[in-house]
Amino acid sequence: MTSMTSMQRVLTTLGHQEPDRVPLFLLLTMHGAKELGLSIREYFGSAANVVEGQRRLRAKYQDDCFYNFFYAGLEIEAWGGETIFREDGPPNSGKPIISHPDEILKLEPPKVQDSPSLLKVLEATRQLKQIAGDEVPIIGVAISPFSLPVMQMGFEAYLDLMDSHPDLFERLLQINQVFSVEWANAQLTSGATAICYFDPISSSSMIPKDLYLKHCFEFTRQTLAKIQGPTATHLASGRALPILENLAQTGTAVVGVSAEESLADLKEIARGKVTLLGNLNGIEMRRWTPEETKQNVIEAIAQAGPGGGFILSDNHGEIPWQVPDDVLLTISETVRQYGNYPLQLDAEDGR
């Protein structure tokens, strides 16, 4: 088969057909700081740093996307919150911006153009588009309105709000929806190809399926319909299998799936309906040997690759700082060796 561009490869996969090989998304963020010899704080301090980091990372690992994601707390900065930086891990949001449920009554969604942090991401996206042209997908990120409250008010307080203050819960979702949709669309306008819609609270690792159906399914469908481009729903390591049929009905094109679930089981449900993204274990990846890396990549391709509809990636949407270069290089090399269509392997090939 003639070699495809990354864009052609991904679009063919999303159409549930077999491209030249299985697409690879190495969703690397902090590793760009290593490439530039900067601290994580310094690296994310400028759009130009992130663009150069992404350029170097893709040249090094030959994967199939650029990733404009800085860090999750960046969205909370737009709401007036703070970010806590670490030397060897992802920046996290600081003190919750909502200390009492009644504060939701006065809460208003911030405007993207008023946030220096968000504008920095948009500038990086524009610069990445100049590099990518129409040959490489650029993946933007927006945290779902349903999951954003965990950073706005804390996990326990949010679950209590859901149960004890239904009116305030609904108001918070609607306010967050306005923000999340504007933020997603601003990235698409700036050059992003698709939006990774991070929604870990919807996963069956976080809430039972009945609560997802009650509070989130229809709301997600309405939210995604307002985003003016394709979306990939990512549960950030959370389990997807119990709600995968429902996720496919929301209008999302891709679902990021967990290392805790069988790709073969997921593929049985997803085939022809939604593309799977995953499910290499980023935590375990930190200590994989070359043999283990090769085996895990081949097993994933064997289980989910046939017929297209599969993009190899990590299971969380952000590869940890501690994952070494040699593991990432082995992942890339194994995909190029064993991921070519028509596939001629099974899981035993990795052993």
**73-129 tens-digit pLDDT:** 999 999 999 999 999 999 999 999 999 999 999 999 999 999 999 999 999 999 999
Share of the chain above pLDDT 90, in %: 97
Categorize the per-residue pLDDT at 244 as very low, low, confident or very high, splitting at 50, 70 and 90. Answer: very high
Question: Is residue 161 over pLDDT 90?
Answer: yes
- Residues 310 and 307: their CA atoms lie apart, in Å, by 8
- Please report the pLDDT score of residue 346 as a whole number: 56
Structure tokens at 215: 């509070």
Pairing of strands 275-280, 83-84: unpaired
Structure tokens at 270: 């997803």
pTM over 0.85: yes
Q: How many other CB atoms sit within 10 Å of the CB of residue 339?
A: 22
**172-193 tens-digit pLDDT:** 999 999 999 999 999 999 999 9
**214-233 tens-digit pLDDT:** 999 999 999 999 999 999 99
Q: Taking a C-beta distance cutoff of 8 angstroms, is the pair 327, 30 a contact?
A: no
Question: Is residue 347 over pLDDT 50?
Answer: no
- Please report the pLDDT score of residue 1 as a whole number: 67
Question: Is residue 272 over pLDDT 60?
Answer: yes
Q: Looking at the structure, give the CATH architecture of the domain made up of residues 6-350.
A: Alpha-Beta Barrel (3.20)
Categorize the per-residue pLDDT at 345 as very low, low, confident or very high, splitting at 50, 70 and 90. Answer: confident
Tell me what the mean pLDDT of segment 292-321 comes to: 97
- Please report the pLDDT score of residue 183 as a whole number: 98
Average predicted confidence (pLDDT) for the chain: 96
